[in-house]
Structure 1
């Protein structure tokens, strides 16, 4: 999710539709101001107005993506360099998704996100970027053909979930883990219709899966059937086939 901007923290920031540069850059993000505590009753005067901004972000996202069609959300690190083999795999994934009739949705940043958007764009597919206001990322990557910038993480997450018929999760850090476990939790608790979740790169994910088996399952915190919620693969063709199989079996969710 993160990469230190060469422009510096105070050089550039995009907040939804607003661009700030130089001395117009605020010291905190919109999410920080929403979630900060210790303000007494001040929130009574500011938070009702925030609700309107949140509502506007939902309306903007729903309006832009309502006619997107079949799509797959691809998650992974913003720190993955272009010479990393996983970058090439993400490019191939975006390409194969486009060739199979699926739009590719990413966070619109660099690394894995850029690679998947690039593959989709070069194959003539729809390449979606859902950006977020962060102090260390600049703007959507150049391969995004349909982009939306969000102020609030939780609004952005709804868009990732609502308009995808599946997830492919490539190696990444805290943000990638957050996106993975949120999707697993929503499917496990039946808050969301079951759909395919693919973990790409067995070498990377095997340690996590092993820990889940040896600790979470052994201690009774999850069930054996919870391991059926996701697939671990190393092949782009297999990842796409899992998505296609789910669609052929009639499990594809509507928006």
Structure 2
């Protein structure tokens, strides 16, 4: 998925259910207005209504995605051109995920997101796009067959995690890093049950792994096991295989733990 700050032309600017183009596109986003400070008291009147809008985004997202079945979220740059090897790789990821019985969830934009959606659609599977309001035209890519447009990043990010059984992350920028580390933080802190995270691209991600196992671990900022939450490969098919097999292992461990907790104490 990821929206890494590139102005690309798309199907228009989405502001909730409203489609805007050309001079109708605003210069600020809903997130910017929500987070902006101010000396006046307008927030007393505006922010309570924003809460209702935020609530509606969660309700609409939950309603639309509740029955999609097993799914995997795919993250990566919006900047990746169609002729790039990463685009081809993401197509294969989308195709293989569908063949493995998963729906594919992306941010619905261009680049890696489009490629994964394309692979999923051409494999005959469910291709989900979670769009976001941005200060430039991007729109939902043509390969999404279930799309939702969000105003707020945090509501959208919730959907990536809530309905995914795993993550496949291809090269990307700040947006991709944000999504990757949010997923890792949720697992590390046990705010969610474990799920597999596969990184595709050893040349791109290898330095990150070395940094985690080196300076970050040496200073005690993570535990020895934390870098193992990431699986690194260059093979998109291997990445999907890892997500499938490790996901099954984690699900079995969760069931066993639940059964053990429910068992009556031994006399």
Interval containing the TM-score (normalised by the shorter chain): over 0.9
Deviations 1:196-235 (A, max 9, x none): 0111111100111111222111111111110121111111
Structure 2: distance between partners of 1:39 and 1:91: 49
Q: Superposition RMSD on alpha carbons, in Å?
A: 1.8
Determine the structure 2 residue equivalent to 1:4. Answer: 7
Q: Specify the SS of the correspondent of 1:104.
A: strand
Q: Specify the SS of the correspondent of 1:249.
A: helix
Structure 1: distance between partners of 2:24 and 2:207: 44
Q: Specify the SS of the correspondent of 1:118.
A: helix
Give every structure 1 segment of 4 or more consecutive aligned residues whose post-TM-superposition deviation is greater than 6 Å. Answer: none
Q: Which consecutive unaligned segments of at least 5 residues does structure 2 have?
A: 256-267
Q: Specify the SS of the correspondent of 2:131.
A: strand
TM-score (norm 1): 0.94
Structure 2: distance between partners of 1:220 and 1:103: 38
**CA drift at 1:39:** 3.6
Segment of structure 1 superposing worse, 118-127 or 224-233: 224-233
TM-score (norm 2): 0.90
Structure 2: distance between partners of 1:243 and 1:118: 20
The answer to whether structure 1 residue 36 and structure 2 residue 39 are counterparts is: no
Q: Is the 8 A contact 1:3 1:137 kept in 2?
A: no
* Map 1:103-252 → 2, pairs under 5 A: 103-249=103-249, 251=251
Structure 2: distance between partners of 1:70 and 1:12: 30
Q: Specify the SS of the correspondent of 1:194.
A: coil
Q: Is the 8 A contact 1:187 1:193 kept in 2?
A: yes
Distance 1:137 1:198, change over 3 A: farther
The answer to whether structure 1 residue 54 and structure 2 residue 57 are counterparts is: no
Larger gyration radius, structure 1 or structure 2: 2
